[in-house]
Chains A and B, each alone.
Chain A
Amino acid sequence: MTPFEPIIHVDFDRPDHCYMPGGSITVRYEVEGLGERPLLAVERSLLWYTEGKGEEDIGVHFFDRRSSKTDAAKDLETGSFTAVLPASPLSYEGVIVKVRWCIRVRIFFSSRDAVPELLGGSRDFVSEHVFEVGTVPPAALNAGAQSA
């Protein structure tokens, strides 16, 4: 049996995926490969998370949940949203701390039985698309001993 794995396409309004704090970001997404399986809900979020040695922290700037109770199936499978980015945090590639911004589109199915082959029986599927906020260069260890 072919594994069922939906595909979520996300298009940013800037091809380089680089944005400035306080700027506007517009994202369009489309879910493909669902076949006859209906979506129960879709969550679109714009968030930052930390990566690196520490435990992961997350900050959600934009969150929107739509479900089949209030929206038509076609409206769940495709959509777009626009948000104005906050002043901080900026994307950062540190040595033991990294800050990343991303768009996450998470789709939910009506029951686990409906898609038993999806990712080990999970009833949701998430797609993450990273973008940059700001222009902070990566940190380099031993970059010190410079004059200010």
Chain B
Amino acid sequence: MVRLPRFFGKKRGNRQTVSHAWGSLGEAVFYSLLLLGGAVYATVVIVGMFWPGLRLGLWGLGAGGGAPAAPTVWLWLLNLFLPTALLAIGVSGIYRLLSVLGKSEERRAAAVTIPDILEPVAGSAEEPGYPAVPTCDNFTNSPGTVLDFRLPIESPESWALLGIGIFAVLWNIVLVVLGVSAGVDLAGGRTDWLLIALVAAFASVGVASIVMFVRAAIAAARVGPTQLEISSLPMRPGGRYELLLSQSGSGTFRSLSIALEQEERATFRMGTDTRTERRVVLSREISTWQAVELSAANRFEARCQVGLPTDLMHSFTSAHNSVDWRFVVRGDPVRRRAFTRVFPVIVFPPRMPKPPGTARIHDEAVER
């Protein structure tokens, strides 16, 4: 007796998901409908193109009976675009479903592991010889002034500044359009009070966004750039590394500190949302400086050392999960908001006395 698959399946942990069988069936129906729709639409368009007398009219095409207006070439191409896209999506979706039909999770994953001839062209975010470890290329292409490498920076404040700036620009573009429209009305002797009220409301938000952007920009400029150099990359467990911290700007900092953090990041779907959760699981203070005086001619520079334990987890990355390492510089300026600057780094696994094993895949279907 053939049993229907269960509608809900068990995920790891205590969550449930729709069963793969039902999901695949739903996908098959969806792509089949797209394919069917594309085929019907393409047939109608092509019939309308070559036999305009037939009564298969759709959106004005091939509307037979009388003398149809001669369509231009670009109109035909435009009408063919949609059915072609539907056919392409439907065919590719059904092909993808058939290619994984009846295959186990491991077999599908192994097929991905098999070297692809396009891989060297596409590039890889994985370090060669170290599966699931992110590449260190982007960290070693910037030499330092004193130490070997200058680390790239991730500044939350910079992203906030960029976001406020983009919002201010877009909002004020809309404001200008509305203002011009209201001005034209006034010049023509018409007074649209509703439009004027709308312009006034938009103007208040527009001015506020500009003020916020200017304040954030001034605050960022007053703090000044932070630079961090390191003596060697990639970092490895058990290694000891020298750091050079440089902080520009002006004024007094109550404190300036640097710490090494390990953060876990997990991406998951909740309903139709994709969410990412981050959790700092390790934070080790490296050095803290109190009452730091800065001026345009007096940049703060300090050296310190960091040693890594021998048994820590290396940097890890996969499609939905990662373990990241980073240096975090925190500053607390007087009469200004505290700031945080993040410098990601890559920690490799320990060195091995002999070369590691490479993936071995034996699949009769692939070998054929």
Contacts and interface: CB of A to CB of B under 8 A. Distances in A.
Nearest to A124: B104
Interface string A67-94: 1011000000000000111111110101
A116 B350 CA distance: 49
B316 to A, nearest CB: 5
**A60, A62, A67, A70: which has the most chain B beta carbons within 10 Å?**
A60
A90 B314 contact: yes
Contacts of A67: 364
Interface residues of A, number: 64
B80 interface: no
Contacts of A47: 106, 109
A67 B350 CA distance: 39
B356 to A, nearest CB: 4
Interface in A24-80: 24, 43, 45, 47-48, 50-67, 69-70
B352 interface: yes
A88 B281 contact: no
A20 B269 CA distance: 34
A6 interface: no
A145 B106 contact: no
A112 interface: yes
B306 A148 contact: yes
Contacts of A95: 264, 279, 281
A21 B269 CA distance: 32
A1 interface: no
Contacts of A63: 106-107, 110, 113, 360-363
Contacts of B314: 88-90
Interface string B254-280: 000000111011111100000001011
B47 to A, nearest CB: 44
A54 B266 contact: yes
Contact of A97 (B107, B321, B360): B321
B319 interface: yes
A121 B6 CA distance: 10
B354 interface: yes
Best-surrounded residue of A20, A88, A124 (most CB of chain B within 10 A): A88
B210 interface: no
Nearest to A64: B362
Nearest to A93: B313
Contacts of B321: 50, 52, 54-55, 57, 97
Contacts of B358: 84, 86
Contact of A139 (B132, B277, B313, B319): B313
Nearest to A108: B104
Contacts of A58: 105-106, 109
Given A54-B321, A59-B132, A86-B131, A141 B360 contact: no
Interface stretch (B156-164, B192-200, B283-291): B283-291
B360 A94 contact: no
Contacts of B316: 88-89, 92, 97, 99
A97 B113 contact: no
A113 B2 contact: yes
Among all A-B residue pairs, the 3 with the closest Cβ atoms: A84-B357, A144-B283, A54-B266
